[in-house]
Structure formats: structure tokens, C-alpha cells
Structure 1
Amino acid sequence: MRIERIRLDSSGGLSDEYLFSFSKVQHLYGLDPGKGESFRKRYDELSRRETSLSRSRLAGVLREFHSGELYHPAVEQNIRRLEKPGSVVVIGGQQAGLLAGPLYTVYKAISVIQLARREEERLGVPVVPVFWIAGEDHDLDEVDHIYVPGPEGRLTKHRLPLSEGGKRISAGHVLLDPKSVGVWLQELGRMLPDTEFKEDMLEELTRLAAEPVSLTRYFAKLLHRLFGRFGLIQIDSSFPPLRRLEGPFFERLIAENAALDEAVGHQIKQVEKMGHPSPLVLHPGCAHLFVYVEGERQLLLRDGGGFVTRDGRMRWSRRELLRMAREEPHRLSNNVVTRPLMQEFLFPTLSAVVGPGEIAYWGCLRQAFSAMGMTMPVLMPRSGITLIDRATERYLGLLGLSVEDVFSGLDQKKRQWIDERAPLNVQELFAGARKQVEGLYDSLIERLSPLGPDMRRLGEKNRLRVMEQLNYLRGKAERMIRMRHETALRRFDHISLRCLPEGKLQERVYNIAPYWNEYGIEWVGRLAETPLSFFEHQVVFL
């Protein structure tokens, strides 16, 4: 395994300023992730903070979640360490996608593990890695499929239907049918090439869903298979015993809801004054909470002195909602604003590992933390990675391309490669021909115009037909040139499909299945053991 590090082109967004010009946005976030002293400062803050949440109760919930197939001695050891005063956590989270979701989910778990290891060595205190599974999320269309490289340089979307008639059901409440998962995996097997690892991969993925299991549990079982030996603690935000721990903080969020909303709104205005669009789109009167009504997750809004669902069908007084938080906390759910606050309530968080989108919306939350009597943890960007399979590496060499070429104008390199080998410059040749034809028709139409307006119209119509024929001829000439270099162009297309599918980073499209099928699964463990950069993109040659 060889790794090259590169700097991707800047998008100019809030997350880029956070990563590379932190002084510009420090007032939004607080602690600079690029400075080691930030982690010491944060640890000192946590050491002075009093918390009403019992570590032993939290540890009990984590043990309950990791019972049965999620037990591992390394995980249990970390739960015991978290139980003791003075320990802290590095936490990161993601939606529960099929087969561990997009590759960046795996990279986020690796980043959590590596940052916890690094800071434990630096601070000399127990630092425990925790992965928060966003089991409350109800956007199932985002997680009900995976992509695999298909024939003819195209992506193939492989979907497992999860939603029930468009209902807003949380991922943690979706039960996977073993038979349906088995059929879906068999279809996946037919889509992937035959390799020495294929049969074992499909058998293992099938075994993990051998009995009815929730989508989040299936996700947790696979993540545990990958990272249990590294002591990664997982928790599903929809896990009922966890919701019971959250009750007291739900009460605070309800009691101080208007102040919380005002704090978020004020900081959004600060972000917008800096020239950035708001990363959060919030409804007026948003309570930053959801409520479950007949199994569906409904957004809550403030309405006078009470609360109402977004569709207006259900209404609660402030007192009734506070009672719900005390007696039925499982009926409440966090949104994008209150989830980080709830994590802070539950865990002594040294650092949160986040992706680019999360960095942007956390930029709207510092005042929300203050409103709840909290301070923000150090936000550390997750490692970004692109995997280079052996065929892609070979094609890069044959075409004389560097990894930088892949991420900065691959299409331009492709055109340049063709132009350098073409027997003539088709673009220049036909540009000249068009200019000559235009000039000829301008003169011809002008001389024919005295014959009447119909003649001018006929001349223009004739001009268009000739231009269409020129374009047709140009297309034929370009196709003839491409056919001469068909093998090389297929190599360019392979590189694009594997590294930048549909122009997106590989980590945002593919998941582990194609690479597990081709190389086995041990490369994931090797990545977790290899120190990675948090501020540069890593290109990993498998």
C-alpha cells in the first residue's frame, strides 16, 4: 500500500476557510484544529466541567448496545476506560447506509480511531473512539442503494427498497427482511466480476443479515466487523435505552427553545455577512426537534406558547411536551442543530470528526452551544481518500498521468492527448471552414435580397442546412480520430469512472463492496493502522 498526498482545488466555501484560513472563521468555531494546544485547552475545559450524567449509566447503555454479536474485548476495554473520570472521547457519526454506506463513512471511522490514538499519546490521558450512528434520520432515499462501476464506463445504481409508501420512518426503525437482503446481495454478486474474494464477501454480508435486523443494526454489525478490534465504540441514536438518558436534555431544549433558535439565527446572519450562503435551511419557528407520530418523524415548530407539527395536525402545550421528554423521551428526536448538543450532553467530547458539509453547518452552532452552557469541541476534518486499483495505476502510467492530473482537468488532459496525436487539427480546420461559409453566405444573401424578402429567408435557411452538414462532417472526423485511439480513450474513461465517477470524489459515490470484491477486506485494517493526514487528500494505491 503506497500513499500520495495532494491538495485538492479549493471550492472557496466555509469549510475551505476553516481548513486553510482558520483565522478568518475563528470567531465562528473557537479552537483551531491545526494547533496541538487546542486539544490541551479543550481537555482542560472538560476537566473543569461538571456533568449531571452518570458515566456508569452511559457505560451501561453502551454495553447493552454492544451485547451479542457486537461484543469485542477491545470495545469492552474502551467502555471501561470511558467509565472512569478523566477520560474523553473523539466522536464522529454518519447515517446508516447499506454495506457501511459511501466510502467516506469508513474513512470517518478510521479518522476517529486515529485521532483518538494520536491525542491519547499527546495528552497522556484515555481518549476513546466513538461512532455515532444517525439512526434517527428518515431520508431513506439517500441510504437505500449503492453504486458499482458498470459496463461502458457507466455507474450502476443497485437499490434495496426501504421506504413504506414514502413515510418518514427513521432508519433505526426499518427492519430488513433476510430474504430480500439475500436476493439483493445475489444480484450484487452478478454485477461484480468474479474474484477469489467474492464468495466469502457475499457469504459474510448475507450472514450479518441472517435474521430480521434493523438497518442501523446491520450497519453496526458491518462496522464492528471492520473496526471492533480497534476498540471503536458505536451507538445508535435511535437506541431506546439511549433515549432514556437523553430525557433531561430534551427538557432543557424545550424549556429554552426560543433562546436556542435565536442563537442559531444570529450566527447564521454572521455567516451570511461573510459572503457565505447559510448551510442550514430552517423553517420559521423551528424547534430543532422532531416528534414521532404513529411511527413517522414529524418536524416540530413553536406556535405561540406551545408546539405544533409542521403539517399542523398535532399540537402540544409546553407543559405537555416537557412531560413527554420526562416520561416518553423515545418519542422525541434531534435535528441537525440539536444532535451535536445532545452528543455534548452525553459524552465528554474532546473532538468531533466531521466532513466538509458538517464543518459548514457547525459554523452556525457556537452560540447555540453557549446558550446551552456548553463550548464547542475541536472540529477535526475527516481524512479524504481516493483508492487507486491496480488497473487504474497501470493506465495512469501508460498515459503518462500523475495523480494531480486526475483531480485537475482530466477531461482537458484527454482532449490534449487526442489533439497531440491527431493527423490534423479538426477544430481549427472546421472553424476556418465555418468562417468561409459564413462570409460566402453573407455576400450571397446580400446580392440576392433585391429579388424579394422570400429570397433572403431561403438564403438563411440554406445557410443553416450547410452549417448542419459541416457539423455532421466535423463529428464524423472526430469519431474517426477517436476510433484510432479507442484503447487509450477507454483507459481515460476507466480512470474517470473509478476516481471521479460523474465528476464526484470517489469516496462520495462508491462503497467498500467493489474493493472488498477485488482485494479482500484487510486493506481497511491496514488503512486504520497507517497514519493519515487530516488536511490533505490521500491517494492510496492498493
Structure 2
Amino acid sequence: MDIDCIPFKKTGYFSQLICDYLEEKETLKPFYNRFPRLENFESQIEEKSQNFPEANRNVLYDSLVRQYSNFELSKKTKNNLVMLKEPTTFTIVTGHQLNLFTGPLYFLYKIISTINLTVALKKRYPKYNFVPIYWMATEDHDFDEINYFNFKGKKLQWNPDGFRDGAVGDLNTDGLHEVFETFGEALGIGRNAAAIKDLFRKAYLEHDNLAKATRYLANELFGHHGLVIVDGNDSSLKRVFVPYIKKDIFEQLPFHEVSETIEHLKQLPENYGIQVNPREINYFYLKEGLRERIIKKDGNFYVNDTEIKFTKEELRAEIETHPEAFSPNVIARPLYQEAILPNLCYIGGGGELAYWLQLKSYFEAMQVPFPMLLLRNSALVVTKKQSKKLSKLGISVAEVFLRQNDLINKKIREVSNIDIDFAPQKMHLENQFKALYEIADQTDKSFLGAVKAQEIKQKKGLENLEKRLLKAQKRKLEDHVVRMRELQDQLFPGKSLQERNLNFSELYLELGETLIPTLFESLKPLELGFRIIEV
């Protein structure tokens, strides 16, 4: 196995905000606490130790034991659950939606990055324990974002009858046998295909809702590494969070703090853009088949698009009696996570980190330590066969990330037996027109405009000739162009990063049981670069 690495900035697939964050640009430092370097975790541990109630650990342990009932736990996960009660134990968290059969490949990268970081921390700080956490986004209701996965260029989609706008974790798995049949046929036969079918069948056909199915799947893939899976849709955990829910709903503290941070971000010269905007109330009212925003109007509180209404006193009583009915949105969920977990670091994708960077002052106002923010590992998995093709075509690791037209034009110029670069001719033309400008300036300055127009016309003519010649060479070297296009389409399906499109089952079909160990060996969470893994 060979591993190469290039800076995220050079891939062309990561925002300016994330690239500047990774370079620790000075203007962004007010928006985060500590940069995720191994030596910085000591201070983060100290801060979290002083600001995490011991009572919360027991609530967390009891809740997780209940959540894991009827699931088989590895010895390592059992130990990690018990260790969470100890004051010297801390967590590293990643979160993800309940995508069907994990969805895109980066689901694996998130969790492997998280587990690998806990291993690195244990080596550096042996007197502490570090537990990897996968936070299941069971309360989301964006079903269209999670009800499919891609396999060999096709979209395998689940369309259950009678889906209502509630929490997706509660969604019944009825109807997934049809997806299973279609997927099974596409997988074909063989040992690896059989293993994938068995995993899908046990996860989705033997569990009655999406939360349980996803827990089973993640536990099967990563439980023996000690992964602990948390479902935030839990009455006991939300009871711990009641004071923060009240501050949001009745004092609108997050709205004011995050809005102010957004104004500061807008004033930066880089013009990063805003990832999410806070609402005056950042909670949904959650019941079976219902997850709707809570809004305030004329001194009372309403559940949007329903007839449910509360006075202030009634809503306060409802929060205290039924905290499970209050579901945090994208602004409030990070605080909920950090309030109930002894967490040090959140590992997420570029979009996630972009909205976390809007939240630091909100955390400070709520007196909850702001975690370190670490960009998850990203990778391009290249087979040996694909690697040989890249070598034959003379395409380097950096060049494979070029937009397809730019890549083809660059390589055609390189392999062509004639020079298609008209830069010398353009320079020669510019020198000629310099002389013409001088003549016009010395004789009749009104001719300067005519000279300029002629220069533009001549340069345009050269550019058109260059394009026509390049086009002709592409036709002449059509086989070369086709091979480049096909190879890049394999590596970047849908003209996007492999990890954002491909499902892990495609790689498992080829690599089998070696896939996940290979990724564990290759992904290094604190080495901030895009990894190219040849397998």
C-alpha cells in the first residue's frame, strides 16, 4: 500500500474558510478556542475537567446502557461505557445523519478519524482515557438527504409509504426489503458480496426503526474498536439540558450571540459567507410524526403549522415535564452534545466546521467549554490498476484533481508532437504593438484607440487559432482523451470527490475485509492533508 498526501487547498474542493482555518489565519483565531494539535489537548482537558459535572457522567452511562439494550457489545465498547463514569475519561466526537447503508464513503472516514485520534491521545496522555463517540442524528427530519446510497453509478433509493415529518430515527424500516433485493442483484455473487448482503439484511430487515438499524450497522463495523454510539433523542439526557433549553427559548441568548458573531465574520475582508443563521428560538417541538419549529407570537408560543399553543408558564412546565419533546436545531445541537458529553474535540467535514466557527461566543455565554474543531480525514482510494493507468497517461497525483477540461488540455499539450502554446506569438505581437503605440503617440494620439482595437482583434485571432488547433489535436489523439476522461470519471464519480459519492460497499466488494484495516492504517487525523491511498 502506498500513501501520498497533498494540501487541501490544492485539491480545489475545499472552501477558502476551511483552508484559512487549517493555515491558522490570524483573522479566524477569535472564532475558535484551541487549534487541534496534540500538545494543545492538555489545556483542553483541564478546561473540560473543571466545567463538566460529575453527576452528568452517571446520567450518560445509564442512558447509554439503556440505548444499547438488545445489542451485542464488544469488550472494548463495554469498557469504554464504564470508563465514561470516571473523571479522567474524555470523549472525541463525530456526528452524522442516518444515511441508508452509511451513505457516502466519508461516513467511514469520520469514524476512523475519531477512533485514531483517541489512540494517539492515549499514547500522549496515558493517565487519561479517551472514548470515540458517533453521535447519531436521529432527530433530523430531512428524509430526502438520507434515503438513498449510490452503487456503481446507480441511486438505490428507499421510498416508504406514509412517511410523516417526524424524527427520522423513529422511521419504521418497512419497505427496505425491496432495496435489499435490488442491491443484492447488483452485488452479484462471491464472498465479499455475501458479506455485504448479510450486513444490510441484519441491519435493516432485522431492526424495526432507522435508529436501531444504524446503531447495529455502526456497531458491526466499528464496535470492536470501542466506538460508543449516542442517540441524543433521549429523555434522561435532555433532562440534563433543560436549563439551556430555557435560556434559548425564553432569553433568546443563542440568537443574539450567534447573530453578533455573524456580523463579525461579515466584516472580515475574505468574504467567507455564512453557513447557518440562528432563529429567535432554536428548538423544534417533537412528537410522533411531528417535528415543527417553536415560534413566539404576541407573548405566547406556538408550534408552527399546528394548533398547538402554550403560554410562557405552560411551555416552561412542558420543558420540565417532557424535555424529550424539545429537539435542538443545527445551532442548538452542538451545545447539547457538549453539555452532556465530557468532550474535547469535534471531528467534522468542511461544512460542519464552518457553522461551528459561528458558535464560540454562544458557548461562552452558556458557560460550556468550546471544543477543538478538527477537519475529518479525506482520501482518494486508487486501485493498483488505476494507478498504473495514471502512470501510463503521465498524470501526477496533483494533476488528477484538475477540472477535467483543464486536465485534458494540459496533457494534450504535453503529448502533442506540435507546440500548441501560442504564448511566444502573443508576446511577439505585444512587442510589435508597443512600437505602433509609440508611433501613434508621436503622430496622432486619436489613433491610439484604433491601435488598441487592432491589438485586441489580433490577440483574439491567435487565441481562436490556438483553440482550433487544440481541438484538432484532441480529435487526433481521441483515444488518449477518452482514456483520461474515463479514468478521472472513475476516480471522481459525478465530477465530485469519491468520498462524497461512492458507498463503501463498492470498495468492500473489491477489497473485502482488508478495506477497513487499510483505512485505519492510512488515515491520520492530525496530519492535515488530503490522502491518496493506493490499494
TM-score calculated relative to the size of structure 1:
0.82
The residue number in structure 2 matching 1:205 is 200
Q: How far, CA to CA, are the matches of 1:170 and 1:215 in structure 2?
A: 10
Over aligned residues, Cα RMSD in angstroms? 2.9
1:71-82 matches, within 5 Å, as 71-82=73-84
Change (3 A) 1:244 1:420: same
Change (3 A) 1:95 1:525: same
SS of structure 2 residue aligned to 1:213:
coil
| Greater displacement, 25-34 / 296-305 | 296-305
SS of structure 2 residue aligned to 1:222:
helix
Give 1:294 deviation, angstroms. Answer: 5.4
Give 1:207 deviation, angstroms. Answer: 2.3
Give 1:108 deviation, angstroms. Answer: 0.7
The residue number in structure 1 matching 2:21 is 18
Give 1:195 deviation, angstroms. Answer: 5.0
Q: How far, CA to CA, are the matches of 1:134 and 1:72 in structure 2?
A: 23
The residue number in structure 1 matching 2:274 is 278
User: Per-residue displacement from partner, 1:104-123 (whole Å, max 9, x unpaired)?
Assistant: 11111011111111122222
1:303-382 matches, within 5 Å, as 303-311=297-305, 313-382=307-376
The residue number in structure 2 matching 1:539 is 532
Change (3 A) 1:265 1:161: same
1:237-316 matches, within 5 Å, as 237-256=232-251, 258-274=252-268, 275-283=271-279, 286-292=280-286, 295-311=289-305, 313-316=307-310
The residue number in structure 2 matching 1:33 is 36
The residue number in structure 1 matching 2:433 is none
Q: How far, CA to CA, are the matches of 1:141 and 1:39 in structure 2?
A: 38
Give 1:227 deviation, angstroms. Answer: 0.8
The residue number in structure 2 matching 1:467 is none
Structure 1 runs not aligned, ≥5 long? 151-155, 429-473
Change (3 A) 1:394 1:195: farther
Q: How far, CA to CA, are the matches of 1:69 and 1:352 in structure 2?
A: 26
Aligned residue identity for 1:399: L
Q: How far, CA to CA, are the matches of 1:343 and 1:490 in structure 2?
A: 49
Structure 2 runs not aligned, ≥5 long? 423-467
The residue number in structure 2 matching 1:227 is 222
Q: How far, CA to CA, are the matches of 1:32 and 1:484 in structure 2?
A: 49
CA contact (8 A) 1:94 1:134 kept: yes
SS of structure 2 residue aligned to 1:397:
helix
CA contact (8 A) 1:29 1:376 kept: yes
Give 1:213 deviation, angstroms. Answer: 2.3
Give 1:410 deviation, angstroms. Answer: 4.1
When the two structures are aligned, how many residues end up with a matched partner? 485
The residue number in structure 2 matching 1:170 is 167
The residue number in structure 1 matching 2:431 is none
1:47-126 matches, within 5 Å, as 47-51=49-53, 53-124=55-126, 125-126=128-129
TM-score calculated relative to the size of structure 2:
0.83
CA contact (8 A) 1:5 1:537 kept: yes
Q: How far, CA to CA, are the matches of 1:40 and 1:306 in structure 2?
A: 46
Change (3 A) 1:325 1:187: same
The residue number in structure 1 matching 2:518 is 526
SS of structure 2 residue aligned to 1:92:
strand
Q: How far, CA to CA, are the matches of 1:50 and 1:241 in structure 2?
A: 17
SS of structure 2 residue aligned to 1:538:
strand
Which of 158, 167, 171 is matched with 1:160 structurally? 158
SS of structure 2 residue aligned to 1:128:
strand
Q: How far, CA to CA, are the matches of 1:84 and 1:361 in structure 2?
A: 31
Which of 482, 500, 507 is matched with 2:492 structurally? 500
Aligned residue identity for 2:230: I
CA contact (8 A) 2:255 2:278 kept: no
User: Per-residue displacement from partner, 1:87-137 (whole Å, max 9, x unpaired)?
Assistant: 111111110111112111111101111111112222231111111011111
The residue number in structure 2 matching 1:471 is none
Give 1:413 deviation, angstroms. Answer: 2.4
Q: How far, CA to CA, are the matches of 1:294 and 1:195 in structure 2?
A: 42
Seq. identity, %: 25
Q: How far, CA to CA, are the matches of 2:156 and 2:3 in structure 1?
A: 30
Q: How far, CA to CA, are the matches of 2:416 and 2:50 in structure 1?
A: 70
Change (3 A) 1:50 1:3: closer
Change (3 A) 1:76 1:504: same
User: Per-residue displacement from partner, 1:275-314 (whole Å, max 9, x unpaired)?
Assistant: 222111345xx30111125522101223343322333743
